[in-house]
Amino acid sequence: MALQEKYKELIDTAIAQGVNDLNVREQEGVLYIDGDASGSIKQQLWDTYERLDPNYSSGDLVMNINSIAGVTEGSKLKVTTNSSNLNIRSGPSTDADIVGKAARHEVVTLVSKANDQWWEIKTDNGAAGYSYTQYLTPL
Amino acid sequence: MKNLTMKTTALLVALVIMGTTFTSCKSGPKDDAVKAAVETALLSNPHIVEAAVTVEKGVATISGQVPDDATKADIDKTVAGVAGVKSVVNNLTVVPETPTVPVAATDVLTNAVKDATKDFPTVTATVNDGVVTLKGEIQKANLQKLMMALNALKPKKVDNSQLVIK
């Protein structure tokens, strides 16, 4: 229970912010926090995590706040890469061939979700394939 | 004539009673059928751990482990509702389960980690038994993004204690 004490503020924030399907459990010296929430709540929780455990260096928490669970097919997504274009690939892996690119801040359409990491998208120019969800922000 | 009718009726009643008695004495096959029905009914409850059922003369005895009192009561109700069960002896013990955290399979996790760290060429990641170990170096500004991505892959643990944060 010691970890739930250490991360009490984080857990309390998650509860207060109404994270959906919130699941908190401790196993073999690691605390696991899972749930679905908006991108801004996810950001708030991660900032809290960083404050409680600077640089996340203790390795005693695995926090998976899914901010993309509620996004449905046909939704518009903005490409939020750091600076480069977003690769569109033939399959859901970085091993798959690059079949197209989407520009930074371009708006694309969600076709289907392969998994939480890879989504099939299409651009207005007709490029279609799989991109990494980390660089896609629902509008 | 009236007397005869009464005698016949009495005989019939006796036969019926005997018949009933014989049926309940022959507890074997019927109890087996009830036991099978109880087991089928219990299959629909996913919370039972190692439950065993015996039925004798319509009395169903259940033993085993369940995670909570609600499940125990629920099973009691389910078993009592099975046709042929006259009463239930509920010997289930409540043992709160410690949920096992699902950890991604090593090959799945290894591939996913490779994808997630691709944009951070100065970081090397290894996966061993669900634990992601990070080495190399990273800009402080990118650390949160990398940790968010790795934490979403269902690892057992992310160890970045050997990662140099600049």
A69-117 pLDDT tens trace = 889 999 999 999 888 899 999 999 999 999 999 999 999 999 999 998 9
Mean pLDDT score across all residues of chain B:
82
Model confidence at B165: pLDDT above 90 = yes
The dihedral region occupied by A108, where left means phi > 0, alpha psi between -120 and 50, and beta the remainder, is beta
The class level of CATH for A2-66 reads alpha beta
CB-based contacts of A114: which residues, under 8 Å, 6+ apart? A92, A120, A130
| Alpha carbon separation from B29 to B20, B58, B82 (Å, rounded) | 15, 11, 16
Token look-up 């389910």 returns B78
Instruction: Please state the domain extents for chain B.
Output: 27-99, 106-165
Q: How far is A74 from chain B (nearest CA, A)?
A: 23
Of B100, B111, B154, nearest to A93 by CB-CB distance is: B111
Please give the average per-residue pLDDT across B117-139, as a whole number.
Answer: 95
Q: Are B127 and A25 in contact (CB under 8 A)?
A: no
What pLDDT, on a 0 to 100 scale, did the predictor assign at position B5? 52
Q: Which two tokens stand for residue B13?
A: 């009643």
Domain ranges of chain A: 2-66, 76-138
Do A139 and A77 touch, CB atoms closer than 8 A? Answer: yes
Range with the poorest average pLDDT among A54-58, A124-128, B21-25: B21-25
Mean pLDDT of B56-68: 89
Q: Do A93 and B143 touch (CB under 8 A)?
A: no
User: Is the reported ipTM for this assembly greater than 0.90?
Assistant: no
- Whether residue A64 and residue B151 make contact (CB cut-off 8 A), yes or no, is yes
The domain made up of A76-138 has a fold known as: SH3 type barrels. (2.30.30)
State which fold the B106-165 domain adopts.
Histidine-containing Protein; Chain: A; (3.30.1340)
The DSSP secondary structure of A50-80, one letter per residue, reads HHHSGGGTT--EEEEEESSTT--TT-EEEE-
